[in-house]
Structure 1
Amino acid sequence: MGGKEDRLGPDAAFRAMRVLDASANRAVEGLRVLEDYVRFMLDDPFLMGELKGVRHELTAWLERLPMDARLAARETLADVGTTIKGLQEARRQDLSQLVDANFSRVREALRSLEEYAKPAAPDLAAAAERLRYRLYTLHRAVRRTDQARARLAAAKLYVLVDGCESESELECLCDDLVRGGVHVIQLREKRLDDRALIGRARAVRRVTRGTGTLFIMNDRPDLAVLAEADGVHVGQEELTVKDARTIVGPDRLVGVSTHDIEQARQAVLDGADYIGCGPTFPSATKRFEAFPGPAFLRQVAAEIRLPAFAIGGIHEGNLGMVLETGFRRVVVSSGIVRAEDPAAAAKRILDLLSQVGEAP
């Protein structure tokens, strides 16, 4: 520990090493449990890589504590703490409790490392602090991914609608979509003033309430709350996930548009419930300067398990190209809403989606 034990005195330094050794062991063990969870339960390469990165960085810093000194200070048989067990340690009601308990265990161990390393190894203390803050973010990302996967497990077909010419026309369209089995309807409307827009939003809510179809409001978390929507969707230039969540609260969905793999990774860490990935193809409803295309979808499918929907110019004719990337969730607009029979068009796409494996 750099010859600075004299700050504490030999006996105190020896006992501090016992604390550092025990805290290091707890942290690394807890991280391994969490890695196994995201690896085998979530099958999530991105989050596993993030947790493994924390463990590897911690292990590298712990090399500054000589193993000979750690082993000399270790005394498991005489440790009074090994005989004291809390009731919760022996019980886990479900796997979410396992996740929460081990994130807490690692953070607490890192805090102990941070404090006891300050007298003799301030660099290690600073590293423990940084890693602890990273784990707060990863805890949210793991639990949000788990919850979103459960909530959106059946959601494969997501349809964008505008405000139409009237509330009654919009209600008729949304009724067709619900009858067609659409899982999510998003109202994306840029022309109307707020008073008219909230009227349209409430019309969508009237049709979807009590059905299996979720209602998402585009860009406007305030109107999502007023219309009692199931969530809000924001782009890269709109409100952040944090700001949207502040308005809609913890229970409504927050989706994010992403256009490259770094944005997709960041959305996971930001606590989004799902991501839209694209544009995949040129769209009749929105102009884009660039198209990340199917290559981007393959990147996301390979490493991210937060629910992800391919978006941009998707229709019945090119759906096969999307499915080849590994995606099983799609956003469709004109390919359904401009069809002569939107309900039938939706059912045809759902039939195609049902012929492949489950959504990742």
Structure 2
Amino acid sequence: MKCDKRHMQLYAVTDRAWVGKHTLYEQVEAALKGGVTCVQLREKELDEAAFLQEAKDICALCRRYNVPFIINDNVEIAIACGADGIHVGQEDMAAGEVRRRVGDGMILGVSVHTVEEARQAVQDGADYLGLGAVFPTSTKTDVEQMSSETLQTICNAVDVPIVAIGGINRDNLLKLAGSGVDGVALVSAIFSAEDIEGACRELRALSERMVKA
């Protein structure tokens, strides 16, 4: 599957902090029903065997909805489960090495925070970039907030799809209109919602307005 900027429009990043009444699989399916355009599975706690089984199950689920399935950080799991892509940060395996490991057929996303990092990531084979944190966030405490000027400068400096991440919710999403991003990546705004499907329908409509603005 090739990376299309439309895949960035409403990009769901999982977090099992809100698993309880529903399983993560059920939460992801609700998000897919609500219109998310990409799913990234991020797991920091599961052992490799459990992670792989979960990845295979959710990968098959995403295929049913024809939505790209991305694994965060773990190249071996991405390859083993047949994921559509892999996403890495600046502290993870270098993007160039990831590209060599996964070949040309897998989508590669890279988190960047500066123009230099963005250009290097594209040079190393990134298909899309994640920029953030664009707003204050409690999900990742080690990331500084990115200025709107830096956000726009990076968007203008590269020619791959760009997704904004970090503290984005229904109340501030439209503030990104005109920034140049192709969509938004959300964690708590999706997975902490009481009605995930309904929340995603609203967020999808907002993201479409943002992109068109």
| C-alpha distance in structure 2 between counterparts of 1:285 and 1:260, whole Å | 20
| C-alpha distance in structure 2 between counterparts of 1:153 and 1:328, whole Å | 6
Q: Which residue of 174, 182, 185 maps to 1:328?
A: 182
Give yes or no for contact 2:86–2:109 (8 Å, CA) kept in 1: yes
Evaluate the alpha carbon distance shift between residue 206 and residue 300 of structure 1 in structure 2; reply closer, same or farther with a 3 A threshold.
Answer: same
Which structure ranks higher in relative contact order (CA pairs < 8 Å, sequence separation ≥ 6)?
A: 2
**1:356: how far off?**
4.3
| C-alpha distance in structure 1 between counterparts of 2:100 and 2:180, whole Å | 33
The residue that corresponds to 1:160 in the other structure is 13
| C-alpha distance in structure 1 between counterparts of 2:139 and 2:131, whole Å | 16
1:344 aligned to 2:168? no
**1:284: how far off?**
2.5
| C-alpha distance in structure 2 between counterparts of 1:215 and 1:355, whole Å | 24
| C-alpha distance in structure 2 between counterparts of 1:231 and 1:358, whole Å | 26
Point out where structure 1 has 5 or more consecutive residues left out of the alignment. Answer: 1-146
| C-alpha distance in structure 2 between counterparts of 1:307 and 1:209, whole Å | 21
Per-residue displacement from partner, 1:266-286 (whole Å, max 9, x unpaired)?
111111010101111122321
Give yes or no for contact 1:170–1:203 (8 Å, CA) kept in 2: no
| C-alpha distance in structure 2 between counterparts of 1:291 and 1:297, whole Å | 10
Amino acid at match of 1:251: G
1:230 aligned to 2:87? no
1:194 aligned to 2:12? no
Evaluate the alpha carbon distance shift between residue 346 and residue 248 of structure 1 in structure 2; reply closer, same or farther with a 3 A threshold.
Answer: same
Q: Which structure shows the bigger proportion of residues in strand conformation?
A: 2
Amino acid at match of 1:159: A
The residue that corresponds to 1:183 in the other structure is 37
Amino acid at match of 2:49: R
Higher mean C-alpha deviation, range 219-228 or range 243-252: 243-252
Give yes or no for contact 1:175–1:207 (8 Å, CA) kept in 2: yes
Q: Residue 5 of structure 2: SS of its match in structure 1? A: coil
Evaluate the alpha carbon distance shift between residue 184 and residue 204 of structure 1 in structure 2; reply closer, same or farther with a 3 A threshold.
Answer: same
Amino acid at match of 2:11: Y
User: Which TM-score applies when normalising by structure 1?
Assistant: 0.55
**1:344: how far off?**
1.1
Give yes or no for contact 1:259–1:278 (8 Å, CA) kept in 2: yes
| C-alpha distance in structure 1 between counterparts of 2:191 and 2:138, whole Å | 12
Q: Which residue of 101, 110, 113 maps to 1:256?
A: 110
Q: How does 1:33-52 map to 2 (within 5 A)?
A: none
Q: Residue 159 of structure 2: SS of its match in structure 1? A: coil
| C-alpha distance in structure 1 between counterparts of 2:176 and 2:143, whole Å | 20
Evaluate the alpha carbon distance shift between residue 189 and residue 298 of structure 1 in structure 2; reply closer, same or farther with a 3 A threshold.
Answer: same
- Percent identity, aligned pairs only, is 35
Evaluate the alpha carbon distance shift between residue 162 and residue 199 of structure 1 in structure 2; reply closer, same or farther with a 3 A threshold.
Answer: farther
Evaluate the alpha carbon distance shift between residue 357 and residue 194 of structure 1 in structure 2; reply closer, same or farther with a 3 A threshold.
Answer: closer
Give yes or no for contact 2:99–2:124 (8 Å, CA) kept in 1: no
**1:358: how far off?**
5.1
Point out where structure 2 has 5 or more consecutive residues left out of the alignment. Answer: none
Amino acid at match of 1:313: G
1:285 aligned to 2:154? no
Evaluate the alpha carbon distance shift between residue 339 and residue 307 of structure 1 in structure 2; reply closer, same or farther with a 3 A threshold.
Answer: same
Q: Which residue of 278, 302, 307 maps to 2:161?
A: 307
| C-alpha distance in structure 1 between counterparts of 2:211 and 2:53, whole Å | 39
Give yes or no for contact 2:176–2:210 (8 Å, CA) kept in 1: no
Q: Residue 355 of structure 1: SS of its match in structure 2? A: helix
Moved over 4 A (4+): 163-166, 356-359
User: Which TM-score applies when normalising by structure 2?
Assistant: 0.90
Q: Residue 209 of structure 1: SS of its match in structure 2? A: helix
Evaluate the alpha carbon distance shift between residue 273 and residue 344 of structure 1 in structure 2; reply closer, same or farther with a 3 A threshold.
Answer: same
CA root-mean-square deviation: 2.0
Evaluate the alpha carbon distance shift between residue 347 and residue 154 of structure 1 in structure 2; reply closer, same or farther with a 3 A threshold.
Answer: same
Higher mean C-alpha deviation, range 254-263 or range 198-207: 198-207
Q: Residue 25 of structure 2: SS of its match in structure 1? A: helix
Amino acid at match of 2:194: E
Q: How many residues align?
A: 210
Structure exhibiting the larger radius of gyration computed from Cα positions = 1
Amino acid at match of 1:162: D
Amino acid at match of 2:109: G
Q: Which structure shows the bigger proportion of residues in helix conformation?
A: 1
**1:262: how far off?**
1.0
Per-residue displacement from partner, 1:230-269 (whole Å, max 9, x unpaired)?
0100110111122212222210101100011111111111
